[in-house]
Amino acid sequence: MDDTEIGYLESGQWLEKPSRTFNQKKLLSAAEAAYMHNTGWPIGVVLHRTGLAPVPTAEGIEARIGDFKQGRYDYWALTKEGRFYFLRKFEEDTEQLTGISPPPPKRAIWWDVRLWRITEIFCYSAALYKALGVHPDAPFGLVINHKGLAGRALYTSNPARYSTSGEKICSSSESSWEKTLTQELIVGGLKELVFEVMYQLLVLFDFAEISRETVSQVVDDFLKSRT
């Protein structure tokens, strides 16, 4: 395992039975309407500064924000067929926790941030297709991957709120989850879906577990944070 390995979250979604295509202007309008105002740095954020704003491509639109090798980095793309891909470097690798004793692990996964982002991915996936005018019952595939996990310790971004020892280490390089969903399934079953993904991720850290109660609390916090 390379201690310098970059870790990242990626997700992808696609319509199982696409019935139409969307032009670049429609894609941009939907992207602007879909991203969630629950955080200072939303998934699929649409910026308007030169060099950061989405650009049209032959396939649809895409945006690159930051540098993959240094500092924060996001990439997302939305195609004319309604396929969406998102990649973000782990916040754990670009932000530091200070004033903590004993010091936090050098290479870590902050489970509370992962839970928050997983919730955001589900909500965003439904919001994007709603903004594109896709029927609520239309099936779509969704995949959520966490990569660059090997050697990382399970920790939290908020040690004052959550007790985490940092002693559970991941020996696998990645965790991948995939399912066919609809907008309505996400709205009705959000907490259970988030629990599924979190369970599959955390068990790789020496059989770590998370309770449904904790998942429910964080999902509720996310939903209440909308501005």
Give pLDDT tens digits for 96-121.
898 888 889 989 999 999 999 999 99
User: What integer pLDDT is reported at residue 3 of this predicted model?
Assistant: 52
pLDDT-derived band at 227 (thresholds 50, 70, 90) equals low
Q: In sequence order, which ranges of 89-227 are alpha helices (DSSP H)?
A: 111-131, 183-202, 212-224
- Are the beta carbons of 129 and 140 closer than 8 angstroms? yes
CA distance 39 to 222: 9
Tell me, yes or no, whether 2 lies in a domain. no
Q: State the total domains in the chain.
A: 1
What's the whole-number mean pLDDT along residues 191-207?
Answer: 98
pLDDT-derived band at 1 (thresholds 50, 70, 90) equals very low
Which range of residues forms the domain containing residue 192? 9-224
Tell me, yes or no, whether 1 lies in a domain. no
pLDDT-derived band at 4 (thresholds 50, 70, 90) equals low
DSSP assignment string, 59-102: SEEEEEEE-SSSS-EEEEEEETTS-EEEEEE-GGGT----S-SS
Higher pLDDT, 224 or 226: 224
Tell me, yes or no, whether 95 lies in a domain. yes
pLDDT higher than 80, residue 2? no
Q: What is the pTM of this model?
A: 0.95
**Cβ atoms < 10 Å from Cβ of 147:** 17
Phi first, then psi, for residue 175 (nearest 5°) are -130, 135
Q: Which of 27, 6, 134, 2 is nearest to 85 (CA)?
A: 27
What's the whole-number mean pLDDT along residues 182-205?
Answer: 98
